Chains A and B, each alone.
Chain A
Amino acid sequence: MRAAALVDLVARDLKRSLRTFSVAAVGITVGVATLAFFLALSAGMREVVLGRIFPLDRVEVIPPETSVGSVLSVLGAAPAGIEPSQVGALRRVPGVRAVLPRMRFAFPTSGRGGRAIFGRDVGAGEIPADGVDPALVRPDLLEGADFSDPDARSSHRACSPSAACAEGEYCIYPQIPWPTTPPQTGRCELPIPAVVSPYLVEVFDGVIAPSHHLPRLGGVLLRQANGLVLEWDLGRAGLGSARQGTPRRVYAKLVGISRHAMDLGITVPLDVARRLNREYAGDDAAGTFSSVVVYLRDASELTAVSGAVRAQGLEVRTSGAEQMGLLVTAITVILTLASVITVIVAALNIAHVFLSLITERRGEIGLMRALGATKGDVRAIVLGQSFALGLLASTGGLLLARLAAYGCDHLARTRLPPFPFKPDVWFVFSPQLVAGVFAFGVGACVLSALVPARRAANVEPASALSGGV
């Protein structure tokens, strides 16, 4: 039979049995819709969890037994560090795209600021901080911001409470707390440029800002050309003081939000961290790195690179990415299974509908055979119907899923309170997902019609015709 004739017959048959078929197809539509919905949701979750919370394309390399050391470093203990030579070796590991050495502040700091934005100062008794290579952060900076050690650029002019610095500079006094007599004189310095992580912004905007009725930082910071300036007390914090050096107050200016910033803390140029570590924690702290972020060429290189790292006597900090990935996968599997079962039940129902239609139309099948239809033609007609049914049902199901996803996204945007990493879009309908689900729906329909199609093809024309109307 020619394709055009087949299409014509199939279309006419579908039209004829529209009601029967639409009832049968509802199951496929619903199954396809839920399947697409859940797969898109878990793809969305995967993107948020693995793309933003626990990126899979990088590992953090730390010196051995540093889990204790990193806590102590806040308190001023000097951790064992990663030598620059080890960083070079990491860079040469196959599968590594880039390495980012980080130098953690090996002494306590605290700070407060944000009056201009929040209307009052927001402070933290302990501010972890570290320094990174400015080149990595540069794309994330506000326009015109300079992410480098401001020491060389500052005027260092003398200043005092009565003699203010020029616009943009701050008067840095040699010590805190300030002795009242005699009045101190300080030097004018530019603020230290700093970046924070989107994670911190998320936590602030999602948890801190709503509960303290503060404006959300992300939007404000990006609009505020001037950035946010922090009073930053070096060598002095709620839990203790630095072992050496004189605590003093400097200023830090938030000049961007960067994925390369530390998760909870502020990140400054590497030179600043080195200079201040030397001053407050000694040469050892200034000569080694506290951790190295290793960026992978591909997430699949994770295992190989981790092995190479351990071979160097360093450790890989587990981010929880693998566990979270597993969790997302498990949930996906369960929801997918439920949808797949829906589709299978629907397909069985379709098989039943086809079987009863074929019994009902035995005479017609016999007629077609008498008029020259081969068994293959009869089979093609039944399969063609199921294929068309699958196309319609799957299209409907995918549209339904897309609509439901839009609806859920809208509800989440308008009704859900903000929380860290709250996604704007919860569903990811990748072309592969759409194609796969579509093929599954159509395939289920066609498969369900295989047995009916064979039965139709095997109808004996002579006996079918004798039972005719």
Chain B
Amino acid sequence: MPLYELRNLTRRYGRAAGGRVALDGVTLTLDKGELVAILGTSGSGKSTLLNVLGALDRDYTGEVLLDGRELRGLTDDAAAALRQRTLGFVFQGFHLVPSWSVRQNVALPASFAPTPVADLAKRIDEALERVGLAGRGDDLPAALSGGQRQRVAIARALLLKPPVLLCDEPTGSLDHATGASILALFESLHRDEGFTVIRVTHEERVTAIARRVLRIEDGRLVDDRRQRPKESV
């Protein structure tokens, strides 16, 4: 069974007839263990798509199945539980709580776990080490650079090892080298730890590491191409 099955997914903002169509009849299938890049210009509907995939936005028409379950049919609590168990998010904005330490920010997903997370401190250390921020746990987000904040957000997504990572990438605010190292991080998460990584980006170069590149324009899927990933970016 594919991880995601999207059939004729349409997302309209505003009143049904005259509203802006952010996603327009998207049909596609995503498999487990894929490293997918979704490429599109600003305003093309990437974030909207990611929100639908993340069950954060269920106000769509068409069908979206995750592990065979239609997302719109879930209760609110079931959708929350699904996010808690299955999905890790990295948002376009980092969404760190400024007055919490890095560790506290990374620990946040554990607050919503139904049972206490065993070895939480160790998991936090591991996640921080994985993103290259070992030893920065007690800093406040304000003491970190933009790239480091992005890494904190990634560590937070990794904390409970959800099988699927959904990443909305603001690489625009990062310099080339920093962007490249974060790309490499995702690649290694995919390759070495088997995460399914679905990333959206407007940067062509980001697609280099992906095995599959989807291109959307004005909410429509215009290209779905599989490729052999390049070794480096």
Contacts and interface: CB of A to CB of B under 8 A. Distances in A.
Given A12-B104, A466-B47, A466-B92, A372 B56 contact: no
Interface in A1-53: 1-2, 4-6, 8-9, 12, 16
Most B Cβ at <10 Å: residue of A8, A12, A370: A370
Nearest to A370: B89
A213 B111 CA distance: 74
A465 B56 contact: yes
A31 B84 CA distance: 42
A371 B109 contact: yes
A372 B104 CA distance: 16
A372 B47 contact: no
Report the interface size class on chain B.
20 to 34
A465 B95 contact: yes
A367 B109 CA distance: 10
B109 A372 contact: yes
Contact of A2 (B91, B104, B116): B116
Nearest to A469: B93
Interface stretch (A61-69, A98-106, A374-382): A374-382
Contacts of B108: 367-368, 371
Interface in A333-383: 363-364, 366-377
Contacts of B219: none
A5 B113 CA distance: 9
A462 B93 contact: no
A1 B115 CA distance: 8
A139 interface: no
A177 interface: no
Contacts of A364: 95, 97
A370 B112 CA distance: 10
A5 B97 CA distance: 16
A95 interface: no
Interface string B99-137: 110001000111111111000000000000000000000
B100 A372 contact: no
Given A371-B108, A371-B112, A462 B95 contact: no
Interface in B55-106: 56-57, 76-77, 80-81, 83-85, 89, 91-95, 97, 99-100, 104
By secondary structure, the A interface counts as: helix
B179 interface: no
Contacts of A468: 91-95
Contacts of A377: 80, 112
A375 B89 CA distance: 18
A420 interface: no
Contact of B54 (A370, A374, A375, A466): A370
A367 B156 CA distance: 11
Given A466-B47, A466-B92, A9 B111 contact: yes
Contact of A367 (B80, B95, B115, B116): B95
Given A369-B56, A462-B57, A374 B109 contact: no
B77 A374 contact: yes
Interface of A: 1-2, 4-6, 8-9, 12, 16, 363-364, 366-377, 460-462, 465-466, 468-469
Interface of B: 47-48, 51, 54, 56-57, 76-77, 80-81, 83-85, 89, 91-95, 97, 99-100, 104, 108-116, 156
28 contacts: A16-B99, A363-B95, A364-B95, A366-B95, A367-B95, A368-B111, A371-B84, A371-B108, A371-B109, A371-B112, A371-B156, A372-B80, A372-B81, A372-B83, A372-B109, A372-B113, A373-B80, A374-B76, A374-B80, A461-B57, A462-B57, A465-B91, A466-B51, A466-B92, A468-B92, A468-B93, A468-B94, A469-B93
Given A371-B108, A377-B80, 6 more contacts: A2-B114, A373-B112, A375-B76, A460-B57, A462-B56, A462-B57
